Chains A and B, each alone.
Chain A
Amino acid sequence: MKVTIRGCRGSLATPGAQTLRYGGNTSCLEVWLDDGTLIVLDAGTGIRPLGLALADAQPRTIHLLLTHLHLDHLEGLGFFLPLWRPETELHIWGPPSPLEPLSLRIARYMSPPLFPVLLSDAPADVRFHDVPAEPWQIGSATIFAQPIVHPGPTVGYRIEADGAVLAYMPDHEPSLAGSIGTARPEWISGFDVARGADVLLHDAQYTEDEYSAHVGWGHSSVADAVDFARATGVRQLVLFHHDPLHTDDGLRALEARAQDCWQEDGEPPLLAMEGAELAL
């Protein structure tokens, strides 16, 4: 399994001189399985350069797994080149809502006045799927999605393939559901998504000071991200969903704080960086 981070900024795309190192595009991961299956996690603005990079390979089938439909995880979809190729079969997976089907909720974004072209006019063969409650197969991967603490229907994804486990929880506030360090595993939001993962990409939007002013907004402090990673026994925590106000220098300070909090054997936490590749 090969993972490329195409976007790791949270909330709003943040291009500029102060975000050159870690990147300004919003959430998107490109995941290639060893059997040639392409899975894309989230459709933030990072999916636009991914689409350009796929121009040569032109994969016929793409599975896009959306954690939720907040704009920073969806706004790149209309600019994803494969969507505009009739040969593409695009499977879009997302959390079920008690109110509206996934297709209609996404179509709200890709319709006037928010977007000039209707999603239904895109030439690709787009198929929508509510994520099932039980694990399912995509190519050689077993995928597991579980609702997690974040405003509105939101899931975290666990991808088991090629002898490795990748967990992806870009927007998650587990401390809102109680103390992570003292709770039993079955009472920790998203525990089974991250349990024993080789790599966990997890929300670490705020410093602890910033978090105190943003409780309930759906994001984690760096200390809570570390607590969650320790509680779930992950091998490598990758700090994700960088705050738009955090410059490259500020993010380096956040990483140092995470490594202070870690105090465990094994790999210390790292910052997600746009363009970085992870081989699992």
Chain B
Amino acid sequence: MVARPQPKDLVLILAREFASKLALSVFIADADGNLVYFNEPAERLLGQTFAETGEIRAEAWSQLYRTEELDGTPIALEQLPSGVALLERRPAHHVFAITGLDGVRREISVTAFPLLSSTTALAGIMAIFWDVEASR
């Protein structure tokens, strides 16, 4: 028997709808770090559409792209703004480089924040990506 997907936290449901209306690139992960949505502007950064990837498990997410400081130093996942928001439950911001599935290296500015539905309940995180070079 195929297990029915768990219902999403209402905060995630509303966050996804909000993100779908934005022209900024937005990624949304659940409390376990699974990428549950990215909007159309974000598809260009990943080099794939959400319709193609569907939801991406936390362990597979990091394999979709490579992240590094602007000088080429690798960045650990937990040091990325999304990792900080998820693990430390606080907002974080960083400018770094990402190479997506299309092989293109892009300089991006990322702000991530935790989606807390109560003082103790983490629904997930939202990360807003800004393509620095494209905005110059």
Contacts and interface: CB of A to CB of B under 8 A. Distances in A.
Closest A-B pairs by Cβ, 6 of them: A186-B5, A147-B10, A98-B118, A177-B13, A178-B17, A186-B7
Interface stretch (A8-16, A52-60, A187-195, A237-245): A187-195
Contacts of B13: 149, 177-178, 187-189
Contact of B20 (A96, A148, A178, A191): A178
Contacts, number: 42
B4 interface: yes
Contacts of B16: 177-178, 187
B10 A148 contact: yes
Given A186-B5, A186-B7, 12 more contacts: A98-B117, A146-B7, A147-B10, A147-B117, A149-B14, A176-B17, A178-B13, A184-B5, A186-B4, A187-B8, A187-B13, A188-B13
A132 interface: no
B71 to A, nearest CB: 40
A184 B36 CA distance: 13
Nearest to A155: B10
A179 to B, nearest CB: 10
A137 B87 CA distance: 34
Contacts of A187: 8, 13, 16
Interface in B1-40: 4-10, 13-14, 16-17, 20
B73 interface: no
Contacts of A186: 4-8
B135 interface: no
A181 interface: no
B123 to A, nearest CB: 10
A189 B119 contact: no
Interface of B: 4-10, 13-14, 16-17, 20, 116-119
B119 to A, nearest CB: 5
B14 A177 contact: yes
A185 interface: yes
A96 B13 CA distance: 19
A216 to B, nearest CB: 11
Interface of A: 96, 98, 146-149, 176-178, 184-189, 191-192
25 contacts: A96-B118, A98-B117, A98-B118, A147-B9, A147-B10, A148-B10, A149-B14, A177-B10, A177-B13, A177-B14, A177-B16, A178-B13, A178-B16, A178-B20, A184-B5, A185-B7, A186-B5, A186-B7, A186-B8, A187-B13, A188-B13, A189-B10, A189-B13, A191-B7, A192-B7
A116 B99 CA distance: 65
Nearest to B118: A98
Given A146-B7, A184-B5, A177 B118 contact: no
A184 B7 CA distance: 10
A98 B17 contact: no
Contacts of B10: 146-149, 177, 189
A149 B16 CA distance: 13
B10 to A, nearest CB: 4
